[in-house]
């Protein structure tokens, strides 16, 4: 059974959120039969490679696939002929834009799944449930579509190369660490909480015999210097390692007692470690983007203060949860 998963999101977090879905489908149908098509960069091939998801890349020369109506004319020729595939047994459309769905549906298939227009484009009309950004519910809908049983399988961090965990233990050898992820990956939405509030919290927990651990991009020199100069006993472990990348962040997160983050890609890397988290949201959708783990506290300014301004969240709101 050949399966194509289509994702229109371009961020690292968008891809990490698919780990459980892909793991479940691999368990049922085998990894050699699952293909991935992204409208943007395929992070599984490079940045996320060492998570060992091992999903086939559907090769295409079309940029931003699905976002242009002329793709309707070339989707079959450009995709199937290039990949020596006649048709897919199942196409899973993980977005809901009409244009993208119309383009994707041109790829020959037997079963087609999409939530666009209240599931009107699905190959079989069933009593589907609203997924609300929940992979488990997507699997339930796929069961209805295929008349089959698919067991939900969480991504197993044991798939990460042991060298990352060995390095994490060297960098964080004790058990009193609190993690901080404070920078946003893109600037088009104001998702960052004021740095002064993070610094204040880090110093307060440092006074309680906890060690603040910050995940900061290596080239963010000014912020790194500010953190080192203003926080007692702070650690920025990635600066002390020859290893780097998302798997190291996840391995380091396994050593944390708890983590505090804004909505960013690192939040999802930490979420894979399945540790207690406090996540702050402003303009973005906390139900859609928050890690799907049990022990998570979400501080959403839209819910708490009826505002998209994340700065409305108070320092004490966070301290109450630590």
The CATH number given to whatever domain includes residue 104 is 3.40.50.2000
Among 98, 123, 155, the domain-final residue is 155
pLDDT at residue 121 above 90?
Answer: yes
**Cα angle value 131/309/134 (rounded, 5°):** 10
Predicted pLDDT at 112? 97
Identify the sign of the CA torsion 188, 190, 192, 194: positive
What does the alpha-carbon distance between residue 202 and residue 77 come to, in Å, rounded to a whole number? 55
DSSP H or E segment with residue 7: strand 3-7
Are both 54 and 164 inside the same structural domain? no
State the Cα–Cα distance between residues 128 and 26, nearest whole angstrom. 22
What stretch of H or E contains 117? Answer: helix 116-119
Contacts of 134 (CB under 8 A, 6+ apart): 292
Residue range 184-240, pLDDT digits in tens: 876 666 899 999 999 999 999 999 999 999 999 999 999 999 999 999 899 999 999
**Model pLDDT, residue 312:** 98
**Residues constituting the chain:** 322
Q: How many Å apart are CA 55 and CA 172, to the nearest integer?
A: 32
CA 66 to chain CA centroid, Å, is 21
**Together in a domain, 228 and 281:** yes
Same domain, 165 and 137: no
Count of structural domains within the chain:
2
The domain boundary, picked from 155, 172, 197, lies at: 155
Do both 112 and 8 map to the same domain? yes
Domain boundary among 155, 178, 198: 155
Based on the domain organization, do 289 and 245 belong to the same domain? Answer: yes
Q: What is the pLDDT of residue 59?
A: 67
Cα-flanking dihedrals φ and ψ of residue 279, to 5°? Answer: -125, 130
Range 64-68 average pLDDT: 57
Give the mean model confidence (pLDDT) for residues 102-125. Answer: 92
The verdict on 176 and 287 lying in the same domain is yes
Per the CB < 8 A criterion, the answer to whether 37 and 124 are in contact is no
Task: Say yes or no: 88 and 134 in one domain.
Answer: yes
Distance of alpha carbon 103 from alpha carbon 105, whole angstroms:
6
Residue 165 has pLDDT above 60, yes or no: yes
What is the extent of the structural domain holding 197? 158-319
90 and 42 within one domain: yes
What is the enclosing helix (H) or strand (E) of 298?
strand 296-300
| Per-residue model confidence as pLDDT tens digits over 68-103 | 555 555 555 555 555 567 789 999 999 888 888 988
Same domain, 176 and 150: no
């Amino acid at each position: 059974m050949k399966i194509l998963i289509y994702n229109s999101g371009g961020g690292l977090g968008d891809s990490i959120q698919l780990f459980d879905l892909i793991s479940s489908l691999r368990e049922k149908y085998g990894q050699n039969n699952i293909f991935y098509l992204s409208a943007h960069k395929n992070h599984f091939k490079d940045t996320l490679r060492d998570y060992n998801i091992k999903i086939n890349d559907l090769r295409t020369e079309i940029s931003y696939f699905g976002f242009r109506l002329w793709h309707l004319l070339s989707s079959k020729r450009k995709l199937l002929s290039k990949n020596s595939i006649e048709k897919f047994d199942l196409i899973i459309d993980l977005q809901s834009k009409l244009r993208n769905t119309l383009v994707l549906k041109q790829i020959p298939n037997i079963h087609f799944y999409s939530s666009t227009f209240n599931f009107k484009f699905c190959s079989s009309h069933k009593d589907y449930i609203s997924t609300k950004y929940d992979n488990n519910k997507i699997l339930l809908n796929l069961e209805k579509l295929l008349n089959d049983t698919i067991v939900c399988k969480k991504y197993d961090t044991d798939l990460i190369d042991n060298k990352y965990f060995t390095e994490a233990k060297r960098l964080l050898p004790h058990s009193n660490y609190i993690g901080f992820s404070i920078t946003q990956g893109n600037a088009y939405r104001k998702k960052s909480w004021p740095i002064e509030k993070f610094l204040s919290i880090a110093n307060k927990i440092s006074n309680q015999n906890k060690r603040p651990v910050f995940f900061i991009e290596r080239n963010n020199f000014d912020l790194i210097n500010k953190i080192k100069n203003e926080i007692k006993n702070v650690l920025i472990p990635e600066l002390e390692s020859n290893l780097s990348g998302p798997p190291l962040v996840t391995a380091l997160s396994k050593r944390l007692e708890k983590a505090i983050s804004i909505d960013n890609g690192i939040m999802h890397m930490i979420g894979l470690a399945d540790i207690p988290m406090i996540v702050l949201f402003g303009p973005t959708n906390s139900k859609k983007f928050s890690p799907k783990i049990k022990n998570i506290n979400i501080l959403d300014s839209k819910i708490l203060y009826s505002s998209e301004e994340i700065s409305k969240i108070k320092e004490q709101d966070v301290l109450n949860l630590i």
